[in-house]
Amino acid sequence: MLFNSFRFLAFLPVVLAGYWWVFRGRTARLAFLLLASYVFYMSWNPKLISLLILSTLIDYFAVVAMGKTDNPRVRRGLLGLSLVFNLGMLALFKYTNFFLQDAIGPALHVLGWSGRLPHYDIILPLGISFYTFETLSYVIDCYYRKTEPFSSLLDYAFFISFFPHLIAGPIIRPRQFLPQIQKLRDLVDGDVTIGFGYFLLGLIKKAVVADRLSVYVDALFAAPAGHGRWELWAAVLAYAAQIYCDFSGYTDMAIGVARLFGFRLPVNFRTPYLSRNVAEFWRRWHISLSSWLRDYLYIPLRGLADGEKSVYTALFATMFLGGLWHGANWTFVAWGAYHGLLLMAHRLVNRWRFWKPAAELAPSVAREIVSRAFVFLLVCVGWTLFRAPTIATAASMLGRMLLLSPSGPSAAVPPHVLALIALVFVYDAIAYAGESRGADFEGRIAALPAPLRTAVFAAGLFVLITFIPTASRPFIYFQF
């Protein structure tokens, strides 16, 4: 049941009507919405709901048991139980075949073994990478007494399973959501307006931009050998726009749907392609994941040792594991390692005393443009690793793109591809300008006079109806 499907557009009004007008009282509303969330999840594979429920029960009762003792050994044991179960399930479902076929198998072959390790038909539970991080953050925060435990199993199950963020985030923290569950909001016009605006924006990003670009991107990445240097660059730029609109489109829709029920989810993207350095990019791209990696991986790893060397080690290890989190393929690992190296280089360059005075010699406008363009170029090199089916394919593409190997002639890039790429940057430039003045998307929509806001929504619906493809595609991050 995709957000961009007719099934969901039929499902959502029924759930909204039940939540606002049929069920009364906090407990009844949360129970109804939890049941609707389970129905939403089971629309993909009913059997896998058991894993979500089991994870919910284990972590909830682990925290309940923690609250009944001050014995450090018992508390560590309960934390260990949660970590082993959740990370074990994630490893089992997501990485079993990867480790057997792509890590252990090749290592054994190097040692002279000629056999074959088994390959298992394992279905990846939808959203497991996201809800695992949410359950872990809850247990870890409660272990360190950084957050208040949920008062009931219903509240905690709702926090984990609320369907707008269940499949692909944003990854929310208990302290962000607990106050909203404790006191449910009343239905107000502002939430409906903002929620509809976010959903419409996200649907346009996904259906009009990302899905249309995916046709061109898929064709070139499937057979890059037959295309020239400039076609490959066009494909990578198109993929940069595609994955941005696909994923930010999903989170915009998730924010919008949650807002229709009176809940606020955190913004997950803030014009990342206009970042001035790689560290800023990760403060603007997939914000809920990057902040999770910072708090639960980087900071603990950084604390294992003193000195500057430990900072670089923690940076690289965090991004390496972040790449592996994205998928069971060496391309994702390479992408994570690449960004780890970029962050290490960024920190190292910033420590060179001669760098800042030299950089300040350039005019401020030119410096801003060049730095943003350079960072975007670096990010696109990373997207080549991320999207290519194999490391060898990515290396071949990058060799031709970066003038390291010969390339044949390039065919003309379809005009609509160039137009959609340009549209993404124009939109982000407008959003960035508004952000610089302290006006985010919600603020800009709320500030519009009602007639103008209605006209904007009508124009958005017209664009959607006119340009939406006949077949919807799954969201890219559903595979993670």
**Catalytic annotation, residues:** 326
| Distance set, CA 211 to CA 204, 325, 396 (Å) | 10, 24, 26
Q: For residues 74 and 84, what is the distance between their CA atoms, to the nearest angstrom?
A: 15
Q: For residues 12 and 14, what is the distance between their CA atoms, to the nearest angstrom?
A: 5
| CB-CB contact of 288 with 170 (8 Å) | yes
Cα pseudo-dihedral 417, 5, 43, 128, rounded to 10: 30
| Distance set, CA 454 to CA 257, 338, 450, 459, 460 (Å) | 19, 45, 6, 9, 10
| CB-CB contact of 66 with 143 (8 Å) | yes
Phi-psi region of 271 (alpha: psi -120 to 50; beta: other; left: phi over 0): left
| Distance set, CA 123 to CA 46, 132, 178, 326, 433 (Å) | 12, 16, 32, 16, 44
Tokens of 15: 């759930």
DSSP 295: I
Return the SS3 of 413: coil
